[in-house]
């Protein structure tokens, strides 16, 4: 049992290192959240591992999962993607502490979570789709005119617009915009004649 504990701890440390540094920090660069992910993961693993029975450990683990989630979501603002990393860090610690007696299940779930985060947060996945909160210095009553104005400002294809706030006193509106940026155009190829002429 002691051997399996150290095995699970090693797997957990490897998994959280891959998640927090290789996947998250190298893509997003926030050192504070890297530390938060590592601390939460190892803390969950340590507390749940101290529980004597597997059923008790599972119940306590899910309780900690819920409490820490509420505390984290009520603190400073983080993006939805960073919340995904946050939950994955907690899940890794919980899985590795509970599934000590089933090493193949433990390894499989670790690999599954890391693979999902690698693919889901890959820079090339839906890289042309973006979302922004914009404050416009004009109020558009017509949805078509609003889309046209946003398309001209963003130079992109607007796919969805949600009006968050309209202020008639200051003559402005706040909108949540989802848009698709155009694909970058390749530079025109130089013709052979032009290349020979420049070489003379």
CB 41 within 8 A of CB 93: yes
For β-strands 129-136 and 157-167, DSSP reports them as unpaired
Residue 49 lies in a domain: yes
Residue 13 burial (CB count, 10 A)? 15
**Do residues 18 and 45 share a domain?**
yes
Q: Residue 195, Cα to own-chain centre: how many angstroms?
A: 47
pLDDT digits 0-9 by tens, 113-156: 999 999 988 777 665 677 788 888 888 888 888 888 888 888 88
State the total domains in the chain: 2
Q: Which of 96, 120, 144 is the last residue of a domain?
A: 120
What pLDDT was estimated at residue 199?
A: 46
Listed as ranges, residues in the chain with pLDDT below 50 are: 193-195, 197-200
Considering the domain architecture, whether residues 108 and 158 belong to the same structural domain is answered as no
Q: Could you give the CA distance from residue 77 to residue 133 in angstroms, rounded to a whole number?
A: 15
Among residues 120, 149, 164, which one ends one of the domains?
120
Note whether residue 159 is domain-resident.
yes
CA 19 – CA 118 distance, rounded (Å): 9
| Residue 171 in domain | yes
Residue 191 inside a domain? The answer is no
Same domain as 166, residue 74: no
Q: Do 12 and 58 belong together in one domain?
A: yes
C-alpha closest to that of 41 among 76, 73, 8, 12: 12
pLDDT value for 193: 47
Q: What is the pLDDT of residue 195?
A: 43
- Residues 111 and 164 occupy one common structural domain: no
- At residue 98, the pLDDT reads 84
How far apart are the two ends of the chain, measured CA to CA in Å?
79
CB 96 within 8 A of CB 12: yes
E strands present in 47-182: 129-136, 157-167, 172-180
Whether 128 contacts 181, CB under 8 Å: yes
198 domain residue, yes or no: no
> Does residue 155 fall inside a structural domain?
yes
Same domain assignment for residues 114 and 133 = no
Q: Is residue 176 part of a domain?
A: yes
Give the pLDDT score at 5.
Answer: 83
Residues 134 and 171 both lie in one domain: yes
Indicate if 79 and 19 belong to the same structural domain: yes
Residue 134 is given by DSSP the state E
Domain boundary among 82, 97, 120: 120
Let me know whether 113 and 59 are in one domain: yes
Residue (of 109, 94, 86, 110) closest to 15 by Cα position: 110
Residues 137 and 116 reside in one and the same domain: no
Q: Are residues 133 and 115 in the same domain?
A: no
Residues 87 and 70 in one domain: yes
Q: Is residue 65 part of a domain?
A: yes
Which domain covers residue 34, as residue numbers?
2-120
Q: 72-92 burial, b for 16+ CB within 10 Å, e for fewer?
A: beeeeebeeebeebbebbbbb
């Amino acid at each position: 049992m002691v051997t399996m504990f150290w095995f699970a701890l090693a797997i957990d440390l490897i998994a959280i290192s891959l998640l927090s540094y290789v996947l998250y920090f190298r893509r997003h660069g926030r050192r504070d959240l890297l530390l938060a992910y590592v601390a939460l993961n190892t803390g969950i693993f340590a507390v749940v591992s101290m529980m004597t029975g597997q059923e008790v450990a599972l119940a306590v683990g899910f309780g900690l999962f819920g409490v820490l989630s509420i505390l984290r979501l009520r603190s400073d603002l983080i993006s939805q993607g960073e919340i995904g990393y946050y939950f994955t860090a907690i899940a890794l610690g919980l899985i590795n502490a509970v599934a000590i007696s089933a090493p193949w299940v433990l390894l499989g779930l670790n690999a599954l979570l890391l693979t999902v985060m690698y693919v889901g947060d890959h820079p090339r996945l839906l890289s042309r789709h973006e979302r922004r909160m914009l404050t416009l210095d004009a109020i558009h009553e017509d949805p078509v005119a609003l889309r046209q104005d946003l398309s001209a400002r963003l130079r992109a294809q607007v796919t969805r617009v949600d009006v968050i706030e309209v202020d008639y006193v200051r003559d402005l509106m706040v909108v949540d915009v989802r848009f698709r940026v155009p694909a970058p155009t390749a530079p025109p190829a130089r013709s052979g004649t032009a290349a020979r002429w420049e070489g003379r």
